[in-house]
Amino acid sequence: MLVIVAPGQGAQSPGFLIPWLEDPVFASRMEWLSTVAGLDLAHYGTEADADTIRDTQIAQPLLVATPLLAALELFPHPADAFSKIGGVAGHSVGELAAAAGARVITAEQAMVLVRERGKAMAQAAAATPTGMTAVLGGDREDVLATIERHGLTAANDNGPGQVVAAGTLEQLAALAEDPPTKARLAPLSVAGAFHTRHMEPAVGHLARLARSVSTHDPRTPVISNKDGQVVHDGREVVARIVGQIANPVRWDLCMETMLDLGVTGLLEMPPAGTLTGIARRAMKGVETFALKTPDQLDDARAFCERHGEPSVIDTTPTWRMVVSPAKGTFRLDDTAREQDVLPAGAIVGSVASLRDQTKVLAPHGGQVVEWLVEDGDLVSPGQPLVRLHPEGTA
């Protein structure tokens, strides 16, 4: 099973777009997305230096546009991709690229949202000098306790041996003087304490814009940074992306869900390397592919053929599916059991795992066509639970 992932801020490097822009079709598409973003992304991806593309307002649009256009190179006929991809995820701003790739939103909507996201986060970062530092190695509990002791936030939990601390520069300096035992610190090339309370002013602005964004339910399972759950309601995908601006990225839980889905191959879109590096340490036995340059495209397509299989989500348009957000035991709601028609937002049941219990809702509602699981069944992330026919349609 194939999962495709998109990296987050910090993955960019000077000149990384040079080989991609040699293709006139790629260059033309980049010009279009640059127009939507109001930035000359080709310039920033070829000629700008590291300090320039570290700017949040530049880095974020670059990191959404590039995976989207590389995906069109990888899958020249986009519809073919849905027979191969078992799940998608993005790290931080990469979630917007993943959402557009799963057809939740359009590429143009993603570029408008990332343009405004970058501006709002840059403004929030300017209010107080803040930053982020990767804490590599050490005992996990000691690392988290030390981060908390210094008043910092574990803004990215990237799995064993890599937690990113975020907060004010003074707090990060104190962490450098008093680090966790046996841990190494690596300051990150970002402009602020992303995914912390320092970014809360940006959430309101993006939330207001997001209310006007039309969405579709994803064509493949979308794995959320918030908690690693599979989200199959387009409105919730966007709402989670907005809220995640000021909340930690739980990439560790995303990888856990990928393993629960049965991933055998993980392909990272450009600028690639960060997430495949994490996966090699945390997802033993899973083959990885870091797509960095266009001369790798044939090998990347072969990788997709080797691992690809359709997702468990059926896309027949005459009915909707409610899917499991996580791995666990499904418990059917007593009220839902007795109803032939579920109202929008009705509780279908819950999925109980060792970690928590998650309610499952029918966001759109509809007539119950078929229950696909029974009370007490073990379910996997993204597994269809019930088939609903939209009310008012023939």
Domain shared by 26 and 96, yes or no:
yes
Domain shared by 170 and 230, yes or no:
no
Domain shared by 53 and 148, yes or no:
no
What domain range includes position 142? 127-187
Domain shared by 271 and 131, yes or no:
no
pTM attached to this predicted model: 0.92
Question: Could you tell me which residues come within 8 angstroms of residue 62 by beta carbon, excluding any fewer than 6 positions away?
Answer: 12, 17, 41, 44, 45, 53
Does some domain include residue 315?
no
User: Could you say which of 154, 187, 220 is where a domain stops?
Assistant: 187
Strands 346-352 and 357-362: antiparallel
Q: From CA 100, how far away is CA 82, in angstroms rounded? A: 13
Domain shared by 106 and 216, yes or no:
yes
Q: Which of 91, 195, 205, 232 is catalytic?
A: 195
| Both structure tokens of 2 | 């194939």
pLDDT of residue 394: 45
Place of tokens 């986009």: 78
Q: Count CB atoms within 10 A of the CB of residue 317.
A: 7
Domain shared by 100 and 236, yes or no:
yes
Question: Residue-wise pLDDT tens for the chain (394 aa)?
Answer: 999 999 999 899 999 999 999 999 999 999 999 999 999 999 999 999 999 999 999 999 999 999 999 999 999 887 778 889 999 999 999 999 999 999 999 999 999 999 999 999 999 999 999 999 999 999 999 999 999 999 999 999 999 889 999 999 999 999 999 999 999 999 987 789 999 999 999 999 999 999 999 999 998 999 999 999 999 999 999 999 999 999 999 999 999 999 999 999 999 999 999 999 999 999 999 999 999 999 999 999 999 999 998 777 755 555 788 999 999 999 999 999 999 999 999 999 999 988 889 999 999 899 999 999 999 999 999 999 999 998 754 4
Domain shared by 251 and 170, yes or no:
no
Residue 177 to residues 71, 163, 173, 181, 198: CA-CA distances in angstroms? 43, 17, 6, 12, 23
Domain shared by 136 and 91, yes or no:
no
What are the beta bridge partners of residue 167? 131
User: Could you say which of 272, 307, 342 is where a domain stops?
Assistant: 307
pLDDT of residue 357: 93
Active site residue 92: yes
Q: Which of 34, 92, 311, 324 is catalytic?
A: 92
Under 8 Å between Cβ of 46 and 107: no
Active site residue 232: no
Does some domain include residue 192?
no
Domain shared by 262 and 296, yes or no:
yes
| Both structure tokens of 245 | 């601006």
Strand ranges, E, within 78-149: 85-90, 130-137
Domain shared by 336 and 283, yes or no:
no
Does some domain include residue 46?
yes
User: Could you say which of 187, 205, 228 is where a domain stops?
Assistant: 187
Q: From CA 273, how far away is CA 309, in angstroms rounded? A: 24
> At 79, which CATH number?
3.40.366.10
Q: From CA 293, how far away is CA 278, in angstroms rounded? A: 20
Domain shared by 180 and 203, yes or no:
no
Count up the domains in the chain and report the number: 3
Does some domain include residue 314?
no
Element (H, E) at 155: strand 153-157
Q: Is 238 helix (H, G, I), strand (E, B) or coil?
A: helix
Does some domain include residue 219?
yes
pLDDT of residue 253: 97
Under 8 Å between Cβ of 77 and 301: no
> At 376, which CATH number?
2.40.50.100
Does some domain include residue 312?
no
